[in-house]
Structure formats: structure tokens, C-alpha cells
Amino acid sequence: MRLPGLLLAALLLPGMLPRPALAQEIICCNRLIGFGGDWFGALRQCRQKLEEASVEKRRSVCQQLGSNACEDVAPYCQPCRGDEAKKRSPGGNALGPGDPAYDGLADGARDAGIAGFGPQHIGAQQRDGRVFWQIRIDAGGCPLPNGDCVLWAGENGHLPPGKQAGAKLMLLGSVQVAGSVVRVNGRYVNVETGVIEGAAVSSTVTGTGREAIAEAMSDMLKKLGLRCKQAGGLQY
């Protein structure tokens, strides 16, 4: 004998009733990202959900996006803004965004053709009236976030321990200002051996402000030879 549908449903234990599936996803940077939510369908409130999420969930989203992180997730996936050295050592000699020399160096790297290069990829200090700068380079020749960015992000819970690529080379240089002209020099230095693997000096550029430093930096990098034209981000 077949039981009526309602009677059959009443006899089933609550735990045996099928539960509707939850999509548990959000759409970030035009990508469907697993989030483990408690809603139906895929939500588009990516930034709002990341703001409310735990550090672990933010890391998971950033890991799934990889190099496809967009502006909406930048505060969580690429939180460095170039002022981490100043944050970590207030009152020191570190430069950061807003300093013409610092901004000019970052502009010049982008003008030379390094996609994705930002203030977080370069460190700069002013000593004895000169600006000294450095860029960490990975095994593929691509710029990495600077050391203060990595340390600050780790100290503030943005990164899991031990996940960042180490630098194989350091690109080191300085800004030389004489009167109303500027030049930028740079050299690749092997981190393990200390051997210089290439060096270049820019042409002399008239001017001493941000635009002149950018022009000199770009010229020097083109002469030195770019080993990679895509800057890397923090690794999750």
C-alpha cells in the first residue's frame, strides 16, 4: 500500500528531510569565489563580505584570485601602500608616497614597462643628501613587494607565515642630483653571492622633481634591461 505524500513526509525524521543546497559563493573581480556563506545563490557584495569576514576567509579569497585581484579587493589582498617603512619606523629616513623622489622612482619603473608596479615594490631612504633605493627581484626577474610591505602585512595578520617568495636579486641604486640636473644609477646584485650582474646609469635629465626622476629612472631601467615586465604581489 502506498502512503499519501503528506503522511509519508510526516513519518520521516526531520534530519532525514533533504536540505536545499547553499551556493556559498561571492562574485569578486568578475570571478565566482568559494566563500562558505549561508545564503542561496552567488552574492555580488564582495567588498562588504570581505569587510565582515575573518582573516582566514579573506586569505582564502585572495588565494583564489591570485594575480587577478581588482580594486574592490585591493585593501585585503594587496594592502601595502608604500608607507610601511614609515609605519614600522616612525621618524626614520625612509621615503614614501608623497615624496617627489619616491613617487618619481615608482613612476619611472612603470614608464619603463613594468606592469603592476606600485609604491609597494620599491624602498627608498634619504641619507647624506642622497636618495638610495632598492627593489627585490624574484627568480624569474620580476619585482616583489618590498621587505617592509611583507613584514607589515605579516605583523597585521594579512599573511600566513612562510608564504612569500624570497628575493634572488636586489636591484640597488641611487638618485644623483647636481644643480638643476638629475641622474639615476642601478645595478643587479645577486643576493647569495653579492656579485653585480649588471649596471647602468641614466642619461642626464634637466630638472630635479618627480617628472625628471621618473624620466631618469625609466631611461636607466631600459638600459639595464628588464628581466620581467610584470610586478608580483603578496602571496596567499
> What are the structural domain ranges in the chain?
5-77, 84-224
The 3-state DSSP class for residue 62 equals helix
Cell of 59: 586569505
Predicted local confidence at residue 42, as pLDDT = 82
Backbone angles phi, psi at 78, to 5 degrees: -135, 70
Q: Which residues of the chain have pLDDT under 70?
A: 1-23, 67, 161-163
Count how many Cα atoms sit within 13 Å of the Cα of residue 130 in the half-sphere of its side chain.
11
CA–CA separation, 94 vs 126, rounded Å?
Answer: 7
Predicted local confidence at residue 122, as pLDDT = 97
Predicted local confidence at residue 181, as pLDDT = 95
Predicted local confidence at residue 206, as pLDDT = 95
Predicted local confidence at residue 56, as pLDDT = 81
Sign of CA dihedral 97, 101, 104, 108: negative
Spatial neighbors of 169 by CB under 8 A, at least 6 apart, are 137, 141, 188, 189, 190, 191, 197
CA–CA separation, 63 vs 105, rounded Å?
Answer: 29
Residues 79, 236 contacting (CB under 8 angstroms): no
Based on its alpha-carbon atoms, the radius of gyration of the chain, rounded to whole angstroms, reads 25
Buried b (16+ CB within 10 A) or exposed e, 29-67: bebebebebeeeeebeebbebbeebeeebbbbbbebbee
CA–CA separation, 124 vs 138, rounded Å?
Answer: 19
Q: How many helices (H) and strands (E) does the chain have?
A: 8, 9
Cell of 44: 555580488
Predicted local confidence at residue 4, as pLDDT = 54
For 92-110, the pLDDT digits (tens) are: 999 999 999 999 999 999 9
